[in-house]
Structure 1
Amino acid sequence: MDQTQRALLSTLYERWYGVLHRYAQWAVGDALLAEEIVQETFLAAVPKIEELAAGEHPERWLIQTAKYKALHALREQARQRAKNTVLEESLAAPDQLGQWEDREYAGQLWEKAAALLSPEEVALLRMVALEKLGHQAAAERLGLSLWSCQKRMQRIRKKLRAQRRKLEGGTP
């Protein structure tokens, strides 16, 4: 990156950081997540700095990128909420769902999961459901490819759902 490109990036950052942050915070409703979105937007701008310098309105690209990053963050939050309910939905009886905050009850659910799953599967489920790691981060921690991690989580969910159906008297 040459001096003019650095100057452009610095100027864009100074002029548009506040606007992008306000937009992202409005979109996701969280100041810290908005900060991450704006940082990711400017990180994405670095490899495209030549294109941005050649264009008439680089701010349009920044706004559009921040918009897509905010949408991605919202989707990721929704996915994370869904992942966090997997254990509860899979092992808890319908009348016990309100007891999830009870540590003893949560411990019982984990014991049931540990009895049903392999230690590797429990470790992966713990990373995704409790530590709230995304599939990519969990895959990196375990030395797996993203695809392998996703498939393992899919199989874990399938086992847990089958166990839930069995406990409820249905067919697995």
Structure 2
Amino acid sequence: MKMKAASYLMIMVMLVAVACLFVLKRPDGKPWLSVQSITQSVEHNANELKRQGIDAMDQVKSHTNDLLGDSKPASSSHTQVYRWQDAKGQWHYSDKPNPHGHSQAYQIDESKITVIAAEDTSILAAKAEQEPNNSSSKVVPTALNPAAVQQLMKDTQDVQKLMDERAKKIDEALKENR
């Protein structure tokens, strides 16, 4: 029981000592410790850690490019892509122009492309078979169904707009807090 009381007393003495740092003044009239000074210290340390993290990530990218023998410069983030239509009306895309005819060239900014691994869509087809009355309203987008692909692209653009608006609101909120 005496150990418990002694521990309690030690904790109370430490808390009072820390609280005194918020009340007692330095010779210049400011308290030894303030919430503002703690906040500034935390922000400074967080910014320094962020800078160090970015520097480390840049070094990793540089070393990775060196190891992979990536010959293109790091500042170049545009890729040339070619598109052409064959005699059957199908569109083809390639990193090389059509050797047998005219190709349309496009510049693609690699920094705006997110590559996502292909998913197994067989489960969607099985689900559509299980729900025959909903299969007409829910169309699984495939390369053979251009209307579904167009709807998917429209939905994707709507989500992108929402994400852009959210990012803008967050940026504005952060600017107001500074």
- Under TM normalisation by the shorter chain, which class is it? under 0.3
TM-score normalised by length of structure 1: 0.26
TM-score normalised by length of structure 2: 0.25
Larger radius of gyration: 2
The structure richer in strand per residue is: 2
